[in-house]
Amino acid sequence: MTSLHTVIYEVTDRIARITLNRPERGNGITRLLVTELERCVERADLDPAVHAILLAGNGKGFCGGYDLVESAEGQGLLGDETSGPPPGSALDPAVMAANHDPAGTWDAMVDYSMMSRNVRAFMSLFHCGKPVVCRVHGFCVAGGTDMALCSDLLVISKDAKIGYPPARVWGSPTTSMWLHRLGPQRAKRLLFTGDSLSGSEALEWGLAIEAPAPEQLEERTEILLERIARVPVNQLQMMKLLVNQSLYAQGLHSTQALGTLLDGVARHTPEGYAFQQNASRAGFREAVRERDEPFGDHGASTFKG
């Protein structure tokens, strides 16, 4: 897939490897990245030689969330190596949804239509018939957690951070997977505070399947993938289909519709507008820092939204 610009795709030893590849932007999510991710997942799902999928990220961390720095500051990217509207520009659906002018009329359904497209792309990891293992290093915050939690298994470096700080201001988790991964009480514990978990804590809470030391992260992930890839692909598909049915029965689709609508609402509260105005005045990183500083956070969430 030589036409890819924001992800890398390759297949080795029955494993399709999808790597987020915007390291200079913390692998920040744009519409192009979401589109290319979905294309790669579909290709792996249809490839009879692929038994399992690895999702990972290049650079210092897995993903810092949506790339909204320029948009939240009322600016916009001047260009990109791709054709068409530059990702992160005012024509990016995620940006259009997030960066609404409070002087105009907000159409909740336009917002929902835009953001639900991203949810469908993230959920391609969940709907894919083959197991998806997500390898997390450094940070996985905000919208980046949608990709991680829609994967089947998480292997997280013990020193990595995973969480949803926008629960404090300016966001609601659109894929709504925290409840289904952690149960109601622990999901509320994280979403009531916007706190993040270390990889070690994620393992203790049952969110991760393993939390190795950073220098062992790749090796331990490869061992797991190699074991999964030994199983006939039809057996893997049956086992994933079986387990996923319980989440469908619990009303996952309805919860995601509500979560996506609430994400738009969260960006259009008085506090949401104040956050955006602060970002326009002081810069997005500074606005996020001020949001998170009372909680003692100074991590990767200051890079993305």
Distance in angstroms (rounded) separating the CA atoms of residues 208 and 219: 16
Q: Model confidence over 34-86: pLDDT tens digits? A: 999 999 999 999 999 999 999 999 999 999 999 987 555 554 332 232 333 34
Query: With the C-alpha atoms ordered 111, 298, 136, 57, is the resulting torsion angle positive or negative?
Result: positive
Distance in angstroms (rounded) separating the CA atoms of residues 154 and 10: 20
Is the pLDDT reported for residue 165 higher than 70?
yes
pLDDT at 57: 98
pLDDT at 82: 30
pLDDT at 300: 44
Would you state the structure tokens that stand for residue 185, as one six-digit string?
A: 């009480």
Q: What confidence tier does 98 reach under pLDDT thresholds 50, 70, 90?
A: low
Is the pLDDT reported for residue 219 higher than 90?
yes
Run of H or E including 202:
helix 199-204
- The pTM for the full model equals 0.91
pLDDT at 208: 98
CATH topology for the 7-302 domain: 2-enoyl-CoA Hydratase; Chain A, domain 1 (3.90.226)
Annotate 171-207 with b (16+ C-beta within 10 A) or e (fewer). Answer: bbbbbbbbbbbbeeebbeebbeebbbbbbebbbeeeb
Q: What confidence tier does 210 reach under pLDDT thresholds 50, 70, 90?
A: very high
Q: Model confidence over 231-279: pLDDT tens digits? A: 999 999 999 999 999 989 999 999 999 999 999 999 999 999 999 899 9
